[in-house]
Amino acid sequence: MNIGVIGSGGREHSLCFKLLQSKKVDKIFCFPGNAGTGEICKNLDIDILDFNKLYLSIKKENIELIIVGPEIPLVQGITDFLEKKKY
């Protein structure tokens, strides 16, 4: 399974680190990530509030699960946006 983690802090690094320990995980992508996440997964330098670009990258990388770390994209409606896209 390909997983996307949205955020660039220590919280997201910890999430990626633990997710990598699962045998069910094939690849992890972090939007935009940081130096630490760049060592353990693929960082994608995309503005986390540009939902259309995020969605296109999610589709391109065949990401099946999205985990949102920071509150700002949640407050801005990323969950509703992705649900409307049937994701």
pLDDT tens for 1-55 read: 999 999 999 999 999 999 999 999 999 999 999 999 999 999 999 999 999 999 9
Cα–Cα dist 81/87, whole Å: 9
User: What are the structural domain ranges in the chain?
Assistant: 2-84
* Statement: 2-84 belongs to CATH 3.40.50.300: no
**pTM score, two decimals?**
0.93
Residue 12, token pair as written in the block: 């997201």
Residue 8 β-bridge partners? none
